[in-house]
Amino acid sequence: MKALGGLLDVGSRAAMATVGQEAIVEAYRKRGHQVADIDDIGKLELCEMDKVRPNLGLAYTAAATVEGAAAGFAVSGGEIVAAGGSVFGAGVGGAPGIGTVVGVMAADAAVVLVAANRAVAHIAAYYGYDVDHPDERLFALGVLSVGTATEAGKATAYIELNKLVQALARRATWDQLRQNAVTRVVEKVFTRLGYRITQRKLGQAVPVFGTLIGAGMNAHLLSSVTHDANHIYRERFLRDHYGLAHEPLATPPMNETDVVDVAELLHEEIAKEDGRPTDRGDGERS
């Protein structure tokens, strides 16, 4: 799964490179706004952004639905054919093995996760945030964690995102945020998110219903990611625009299996580079 994190990082970078920042800037120019780059968009008013920003959720959700249906059919369709036995000469032994099922689901999860990451970067750009910057890349990962969390884990994921914002704000200079540390954090986040999504998607390996489940899960995931990303970046823009501070939030009971703590991963990686022990949260240090 560690290798998956690295591959997803590469894939997400390639996907984000296709966002088309110049096209976004040009969309604002056509509305009469004098903007030279993504950062200039952040100087506009929210009402001006709303007149330019498209509904990205529909496009990303539709694409993910097709991908999920294809993955679900690849597994459940194979089981249906195998069940035909005498007709196709395959018999039950022709059904996809567990390795094939997990492989297809992991691949589908990777594709969806890359698309979700691109969607977050796309939405961020329309609010004036460039995820090519190290701090924005980390923030986008936090947004992705919120968007992919289950309903039970969203509150905790949002609080962890708030912790990340405060951790980033405490750094006097970004020279402290070394690029290799950011890369390792990105890989770990993608590894954990990929594993989590793959576990959920194993339910697609159900004959007949696999295609519907696959399409539905992907649609729900991308809809959740784009909805949460829009809400979070909208709130963040208003806070930045009007100088509203991010106050610490009380932490509810942690759902460890559903939340990726980007702030904690960042702390651990920087501590390793500095040669300091890292607190794993259980009173022990490594």
Q: Is residue 281 domain-resident? A: no
pLDDT for the residue numbered 78: 46
Average pLDDT score over residue span 206-235 = 81
pLDDT at 25 over 60: yes
pLDDT at 192 over 80: yes
pLDDT for the residue numbered 99: 63
Q: Is residue 286 domain-resident? A: no
User: What secondary structure does DSSP assign to 205-225, as a single string?
Assistant: -STTTHHHHHHHHHHHHHHHH
Average pLDDT score over residue span 199-210 = 62
Q: Give which of 266, 245, 268 is closest to 162, Cα–Cα.
A: 245
Mean residue pLDDT across the chain: 77
Q: Which of 27-31, 118-122, 152-156 has the lowest mean pLDDT?
A: 152-156
Average pLDDT score over residue span 268-281 = 70
Residues 6+ apart with CB under 8 A from 98: none
SS3 call for 113: helix
Q: Is residue 152 domain-resident? A: yes
pLDDT for the residue numbered 181: 82
pLDDT for the residue numbered 257: 58
Q: What percent of the chain has pLDDT over 90?
A: 32
Higher pLDDT, 251 or 48: 48
pLDDT at 149 over 80: yes
pLDDT at 286 over 80: no
pLDDT at 197 over 60: yes
pLDDT for the residue numbered 84: 44
In whole angstroms, what separates CA 45 from the centre of its chain? 27
Higher pLDDT, 112 or 78: 112
Q: Is residue 283 domain-resident? A: no
Residues 33/48, Cβ–Cβ less than 8 Å: yes
Q: Is residue 107 domain-resident? A: yes
Other CB atoms within a 10 A radius of the CB of residue 41 amount to: 26
Q: Is residue 49 domain-resident? A: yes
Q: Which structural domain, as residue segments, surrounds residue 154?
A: 2-274
pLDDT at 71 over 80: no
Q: Is residue 220 domain-resident? A: yes
pLDDT in tens, 237-247: 999 999 988 77
Higher pLDDT, 234 or 265: 234
pTM over 0.75: yes
Higher pLDDT, 66 or 232: 232
Higher pLDDT, 249 or 197: 197
Q: d(Cα 226, Cα 230) in Å, to the nearest integer?
A: 6
pLDDT for the residue numbered 116: 92
Q: Is residue 284 domain-resident? A: no
Alpha-carbon dihedral sign for residues 245, 251, 257, 258 = negative
Domain count along the chain: 1
